[in-house]
Amino acid sequence: PTTFCGGESVTFTPQSGYNVYTWTRNGFFLSNTSEITVSTAGTYVLSVQDANGCSATSAGVGVVVNPAPNASV
């Protein structure tokens, strides 16, 4: 999985050239943009469709967000 601390994010950028992009997180619709920046834990999946109507779905990418430490003086 992709792991980072709370308050940070990661950007997923797929190959270009598709007509339709559909991102889901944990099975729920998230976005129709080609690129997404996420800061929430979960499993992200991309489905694409080309100009011929052919489609493909990626394997899930896990995102783990660790709590950020709280520094106090």
pLDDT tens-digit profile of 36-60? 999 999 999 999 999 999 999 999 9
pLDDT tens-digit profile of 9-39? 999 999 999 999 999 999 999 999 999 999 9
Give the chain's length. 73
The radius of gyration computed from the CA coordinates of the chain, to the nearest angstrom, equals 15
pLDDT at 46: 97
pLDDT at 34: 94
pLDDT at 27: 96
CA dist., res. 26 & res. 7, Å (int):
20
